[in-house]
């Protein structure tokens, strides 16, 4: 098997881009070319906090100007970071939006024009990252969406199965857990029973 470099420049076999339990034997790494400190590991322990077996999206929250922004979708299929215009307005930051509209295409190639873009300092798991967002004025299930630009700049590996994001920063590995209950609430179907009409 040919070797390659993982996300942090360590020479590893391709299977060790993300380490799992099968890469260890009696507590020791089976691949001697990789350092534990630079390797992200998903294990069965990550599944213990799951509500149940699921098919949920990965939804998190982050801090922005000491305000917790909830219902944030982590979407590796998106080529842009997106934030709702209402969120920017509530944070009184509309004056910082650069009028640089962009057309965003959905999976069915339907185009939506953004209001502009804004750079925001977002705080996740003790790390602050300057992040460019496209400001969207339409309807969204989520308050924000973090796509590949943020995922790659943070050098993160998200897992919808484990409902966690793992990344390395300044020599330390970090976990940012998803909020599975929030996903359940977003997509919950509420069946309302109509009140019976009084008969005369």
Q: What is the rounded distance in angstroms from the CA atom of residue 11 to the CA atom of residue 13?
A: 7
Query: pLDDT class for 35, splitting at 50, 70, 90?
Result: low
The single residue listed with the structure tokens 């149940």 is: 52
Query: pLDDT class for 188, splitting at 50, 70, 90?
Result: low
Q: Tokens at residue 96, please?
A: 């910082």
pLDDT recorded at residue 7: 32
pLDDT recorded at residue 183: 62
Tens of pLDDT, residue by residue over 71-118, are 999 999 999 999 999 999 999 999 999 999 999 887 666 788 999 999
Residue 176: closest CA among 188, 191, 193, 159? 159
Helix (H) and strand (E) counts in the chain? 3, 17
- Backbone φ and ψ for 75, nearest 5 degrees, come out as -130, 95
- pLDDT above 90 for 133: yes
Query: pLDDT class for 189, splitting at 50, 70, 90?
Result: very low
Greater confidence (134 vs 125) lies with 134
Query: pLDDT class for 178, splitting at 50, 70, 90?
Result: confident
Q: What is the rounded distance in angstroms from the CA atom of residue 8 to the CA atom of residue 12?
A: 10
Q: Please, what are the domains in the chain?
A: 4-39 (no CATH), 59-186 (2.40.70.10)
């Amino acid at each position: 098997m040919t070797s390659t470099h993982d996300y942090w420049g360590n020479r590893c076999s391709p299977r060790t881009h993300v380490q799992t339990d099968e890469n260890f034997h009696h507590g020791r790494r089976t691949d001697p070319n990789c350092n534990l400190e630079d390797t992200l590991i998903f294990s069965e322990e990550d599944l213990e906090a799951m509500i149940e077996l699921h098919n949920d999206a990965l939804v998190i929250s982050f801090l922005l100007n000491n305000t917790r922004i909830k219902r944030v979708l982590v979407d590796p299929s998106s080529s842009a970071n997106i934030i709702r215009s209402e969120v920017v307005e509530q944070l009184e930051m509309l004056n910082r939006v650069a009028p640089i509209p962009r057309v965003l295409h959905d999976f069915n190639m339907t185009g939506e024009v953004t209001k502009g873009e804004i750079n925001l300092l977002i705080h996740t798991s003790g790390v602050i990252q300057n992040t460019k967002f496209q400001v969207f004025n339409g309807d969204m299930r989520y308050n924000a969406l973090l796509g590949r630009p943020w995922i790659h700049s943070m050098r993160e590996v998200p897992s919808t199965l484990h409902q966690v994001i793992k990344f390395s920063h300044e020599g330390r590995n970090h976990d940012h857990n998803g909020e599975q209950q929030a996903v359940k609430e977003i997509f919950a179907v509420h069946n309302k029973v109509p009140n019976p009409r009084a008969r005369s």
